[in-house]
Amino acid sequence: MKFLSTRFMIFTVLASMLSPALANEADIKALKQAIPGVLPNVVKPTIKVTPISGLYEVMSGGQVMYMTKDAKYILNGDLYDMQSRTNLTEQTRGGIRLEAVNALGEDNMLVYKPEGETRHTITVFTDIYCPYCVRLHTELDQYAKNGVKVRYIFAPFKGPKSVNTSISVWCASDPNKALTQAKHGEEIEQKTCENPIARHQALVSSLGIQGTPAIMLDSGQLMPGYVPAEKLIEQLNTL
């Protein structure tokens, strides 16, 4: 009897350890089934547990929201861990951005590399005719001296001229030089070729970027607007 009692106790402990995971798995399955009836535009969502019991993180495209397992209650906003002062939602968004940008690949970006070791990488969503984008571009030497690689993705918000010039820059014999010339207001030869500008625009839209420059850090954190190179480098060195 003592042996059976011990076995029963062990089984009970193991069951208590496994039950939360099993319950979460069942809840996630139920939520996946409930979502189409509530949000039919949410396609192939990724669902994860959160630190809050009964609340699940739902990711679809670049959107992050929180739902109960029956999708009866939906929270569309940022979730903070006040103990660690961490924006959990922004961490998730950062992962989404990194995955999307990495899927594009550096071969489909304009890249300015430092001469020595690359200590950090920033990805800049830029419009050729955006004044603050031009200002950022004049600071490339500062980034290079501090081991920061700068990758450009075109976000031609300023209309057809911006789109066409972005294509011409990409198709130039020396795209990096052509981009600098265009940002300095110089006329560059109009060219067309196979280019990723449409993919850039689709990526910008999917990530919800609405202005330039927008600077993505190594972590996926997005900084909307211009930041002086000295200040940004200082921030990168603290990460």
Portion of the chain with pLDDT greater than 90, in percent = 73
Same fold, 34-84 and 107-236: no
Quote the pLDDT of residue 6.
46
Q: What's the pLDDT at 20?
A: 57
pLDDT mean over 66-74: 93
CATH for the stretch 107-236: 3.40.30.10
Domain ranges of the chain: 34-84, 107-236
CATH 1.10.1040.10 fits domain 34-84:
no
> What confidence category does residue 41 fall into, taking pLDDT thresholds of 50, 70 and 90?
confident
The tally of CA atoms less than 13 A away on the side-chain side of residue 235 is 15
Average pLDDT over residues 125-150: 97
How does the average pLDDT of the chain come out, rounded? 89
pLDDT in the model for residue 14: 41
Q: Enter the tokens of residue 80.
A: 């903070």
pTM: predicted TM-score of the whole model, two decimal places = 0.79
Whole-number percent of the chain with pLDDT over 70? 90
Q: Residue 27: pLDDT above 60?
A: yes
pLDDT at position 205, please? Answer: 92
pLDDT at 45 over 60: yes
Is a pLDDT exceeding 50 seen at residue 9?
A: no
Of the pLDDT bands very low, low, confident and very high (cuts 50, 70, 90), residue 61 is confident
Least confident of 94-98, 124-128, 131-135: 94-98
With beta carbons less than 8 A apart as the criterion, state whether 200 and 155 touch. yes
- Predicted confidence at residue 11, as pLDDT, reads 39
Q: Taking 70 as the threshold, does the pLDDT of residue 19 lie above it?
A: no
- Provide the pLDDT for residue 23: 67
pLDDT of residue 25: 87
